[in-house]
């Protein structure tokens, strides 16, 4: 997440800490050279490389979400984009990139730049043989697109395994993208999830 007060710096998850255990106080703030400015924990080199280059290339994006989720990881191995098979998948219709040049763990800055280039101006990019990455104008939006893309990957894998899925036509897919794929829509749809997390883990912001 880009720091709102110092937008040339950003916050990342600490290295070697389970997502469920991370609290706001565990986050680490770094600059684009990887220098730690706030926080006491080590930084994952690959996470820094990817997020630094994405934030550099996309000044409009406040937050980025990336993980090696099960269905996103499996779908990424196909080397294709999501098809408009469901209403949710239409959020990414003509608004997703594909990085089809996996070269191992992203420890080098040039790899981060290639990923940022593949993302382009889209809300998401599928990283072949790797996973998913999404961005948003808010943390909630970036998180919701990641969750929705993971679920859409699962839906497409199931549909492809069952037979020949029917695609939503181009005009309708474009219409639905406008209905469910905007910045406000992403933020709003994430709120019930955040409310549930806060109710279950009231100390997550601590």
pLDDT in tens, 25-57: 999 999 999 999 999 899 999 999 999 999 999
Asked, for residue 64, whether it belongs to a domain, the answer is: yes
- pLDDT attached to residue 67: 96
Count of structural domains, the chain: 1
Range 131-141 average pLDDT: 98
Burial of 20 (0-12, 13-18, 19+ CB in 10 A): exposed
- pLDDT attached to residue 206: 63
Asked, for residue 143, whether it belongs to a domain, the answer is: yes
Torsion of CA 123, 151, 147, 111, to 10 degrees: -50
**Does the pLDDT of residue 7 top 80, yes or no?**
yes
Torsion of CA 135, 136, 139, 141, to 10 degrees: -110
| pLDDT over 70, % of the chain | 99
Asked, for residue 205, whether it belongs to a domain, the answer is: no
> Which domain covers residue 140, as residue numbers?
9-200
- Mean pLDDT computed over every residue of the chain: 95
Asked, for residue 117, whether it belongs to a domain, the answer is: yes
37 within 8 A of 10, measured Cβ to Cβ: no
| pLDDT over 90, % of the chain | 89
Q: Where residue 117 sits, what CATH number does that domain have?
A: 3.40.225.10
DSSP 92: G
């Amino acid at each position: 997440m880009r720091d709102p007060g110092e937008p040339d710096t950003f916050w990342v998850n600490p290295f070697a800490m389970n997502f469920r255990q991370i609290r706001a106080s565990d986050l680490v703030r770094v600059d684009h050279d990887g220098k730690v400015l706030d926080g006491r924990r080590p930084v994952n080199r690959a996470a820094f490389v990817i997020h630094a280059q994405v934030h550099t290339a996309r000044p409009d994006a406040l937050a980025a979400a990336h993980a090696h989720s099960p269905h996103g990881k499996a779908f990424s191995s196909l080397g294709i984009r999501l098809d408009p098979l469901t209403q949710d998948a239409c959020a990414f219709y003509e608004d997703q990139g594909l990085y089809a040049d996996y070269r191992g763990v992203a420890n080098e800055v040039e790899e981060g730049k290639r990923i940022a280039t593949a993302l382009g101006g889209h809300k998401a990019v599928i990283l072949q043989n790797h996973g998913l990455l999404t961005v948003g104008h808010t943390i909630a939006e970036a998180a919701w697109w990641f969750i929705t893309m993971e679920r859409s990957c699962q839906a497409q894998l199931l549909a492809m395994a069952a037979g020949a899925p029917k695609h939503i036509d181009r005009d309708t897919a474009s219409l639905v993208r406008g209905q469910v794929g905007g910045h406000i829509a992403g933020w709003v749809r994430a709120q019930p999830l955040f409310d549930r997390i806060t109710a279950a883990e009231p100390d997550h912001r601590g």
